[in-house]
């Protein structure tokens, strides 16, 4: 099961989708001692004021947004460079400023695993957990993050809220066949998580 993380689709309130790298004059800074890599489409949160990936569990804490690359200044040339992912063990992580889709009104698509229990149209409005500890790709720079379909519930601490299908035909697949789902970040740093609703 090869996920691609969270990919921005549109703004719920209209307007342009924009990845932000400034919360203040210093931007979103990467934790120098972060034990994991960063991939395009990863969920990120704060730790001691620095940005870290938070996907080791099925329900991350308050999510800042979705990582979408970073910039840094090359020490040898002085040039500012952009990267889509940061490898595990990168020495100069503290020099990176990350770009993050941090607007709580941004809607995303994500692969739903449709494993043992599939999501369906009747589940729109419910919340979902993620499949913990995804592995990103150093080749595509994409996150391996996927939504765990079998966790659909009204629990307000779950990180994602299902808004519909993101399939080309807007349909839903049966258990055993992955699908693209339309979601918003539910447990967002800038908004209180909503209790999921059923029967929409």
Q: Which two tokens stand for residue 58?
A: 């099925």
90 touches 83 (CB < 8 A) = no
| Cα–Cα distance, 167 to 173 (Å, whole number) | 9
pLDDT surpassing 90 at residue 19: no
pLDDT surpassing 80 at residue 95: no
pTM to 2 decimals? 0.87
pLDDT tens per residue, range 134-160: 889 989 999 999 999 999 999 988 999
pLDDT surpassing 50 at residue 200: no
Residue 104, Cβ density class (10 Å: 0-12 exposed, 13-18 middle, ≥19 buried): middle
Most confident of 25-34, 70-79, 113-122, 186-195: 113-122
Long-range contacts of 51-56 (CB under 8 A, 24+ apart): 51/98, 51/100, 55/130, 55/132, 55/133, 55/134, 55/145, 56/132, 56/133
């Amino acid at each position: 099961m090869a996920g691609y993380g969270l990919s921005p689709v549109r703004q719920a309130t209209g307007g342009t989708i924009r990845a932000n790298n400034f919360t203040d004059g210093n931007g979103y800074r990467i934790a120098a001692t972060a034990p994991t890599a960063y991939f395009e489409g990863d969920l990120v949160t704060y730790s001691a004021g620095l940005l870290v990936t938070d996907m080791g569990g099925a329900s991350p804490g308050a999510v800042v947004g979705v990582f979408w690359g970073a910039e840094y200044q090359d020490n040898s040339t002085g040039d500012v460079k952009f990267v889509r992912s940061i490898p595990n063990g990168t020495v100069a992580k503290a020099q990176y400023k990350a770009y993050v889709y941090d607007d709580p009104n941004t809607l995303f698509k994500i692969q739903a695993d449709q494993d043992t229990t599939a999501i369906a149209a009747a589940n729109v409005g419910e919340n979902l957990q993620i499949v913990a500890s995804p592995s990103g790709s150093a080749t595509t720079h994409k996150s391996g993050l996927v939504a765990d379909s079998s966790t659909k519930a009204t629990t307000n601490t779950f990180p994602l809220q299902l808004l519909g299908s993101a399939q080309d035909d807007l349909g839903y697949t049966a258990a055993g066949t992955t699908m693209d789902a339309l979601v918003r970040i539910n447990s967002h740093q800038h908004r209180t998580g909503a209790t999921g609703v059923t029967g929409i």
